[in-house]
Structure 1
């Protein structure tokens, strides 16, 4: 076997390895694109389901609100059996307004507890830094 034959065989091996690496790279790229398309399709499907579920929850909330209104009307009608209609309506309205006031106060308390206090220490530190900078600038 001559040196030329040996080099020729070596080049053929290098080419075949290069081709294999190139094919593997192309296949990996294609596989990644396909995986991304699959992930996108899955996310699209899940988004649709999420939207439908959200709409159904919204519908359930609306029906529940209507049911509460019907319950209030029923309580007013029941009280109207022993009191005049206007009095039973006024009593239920007062009870509902009292409930609103309690819920609002509790909610306000919760929000005030969740609001972080002003960072007085940090503000004082920044003011001190600004005073120091101004003092050095005037020197």
Structure 2
């Protein structure tokens, strides 16, 4: 192989590396654009779904209210209206109080919001690495 042929081979290798670099850059840019478009579409669908779920929750809340009125009306058939309304009201407040106490207990168990188990595991890993490094220095 002559000196000129070697230079031609080197130039074509350099050109190939340059083309590869450009193509990889273009591929990564296109993949990121595709991912952005996909995430935007998914975000729109998630937002629409969340809105519909919120609307369903509001309608269900009105339905529960209507159910309690119906229960009060049914009780009013066998007792005075004020007593039926009082029974429904006391029952609702008792259920709210129980749910509130359970919710408070759950929140207290979740505080502090630090990932304590993961942090402890990380500390153990660091301690293990440090002791291994110390033993390595002693050897």
Q: TM-score with structure 1 length normalisation?
A: 0.73
CA RMSD between the two structures: 1.7
CA 1:35/1:91 → structure 2, altered by over 3 Å: closer, same or farther?
A: same
- Superposed CA deviations along residues 5-59 of structure 1, whole A, max 9, x for unmatched, are 9222221111111111111111111011001111111111111111111111111
Q: Partner residue of 1:37? A: 33
Q: Displacement of 1:105 after TM fit?
A: 2.2
1:83 pairs with one of 79, 86, 94: 79
Structure 1 residue runs of 5 or longer lacking an equivalent are 117-139
Residue 59 (structure 1) aligned with residue 55 (structure 2): yes
Q: Displacement of 1:114 after TM fit?
A: 3.7
CA 1:76/1:27 → structure 2, altered by over 3 Å: closer, same or farther?
A: same
In structure 1, distance between residues paired with 2:31 and 2:19: 18
Q: Partner residue of 2:5? A: 9
How many residues matched? Answer: 112
In structure 1, distance between residues paired with 2:3 and 2:110: 77
Q: Bigger shift: 100-109 or 48-57?
A: 100-109
1:71 pairs with one of 52, 67, 70: 67
Moved over 4 A (4+): none
Q: Partner residue of 2:123? A: none
In structure 1, distance between residues paired with 2:68 and 2:37: 47
Q: Bigger shift: 98-107 or 28-37?
A: 98-107
2:102 pairs with one of 92, 106, 117: 106
1:97 pairs with one of 83, 93, 97: 93
CA 1:33/1:57 → structure 2, altered by over 3 Å: closer, same or farther?
A: same
Answer with 1 or 2: which has the greater Rg: 1
Q: Displacement of 1:112 after TM fit?
A: 3.3
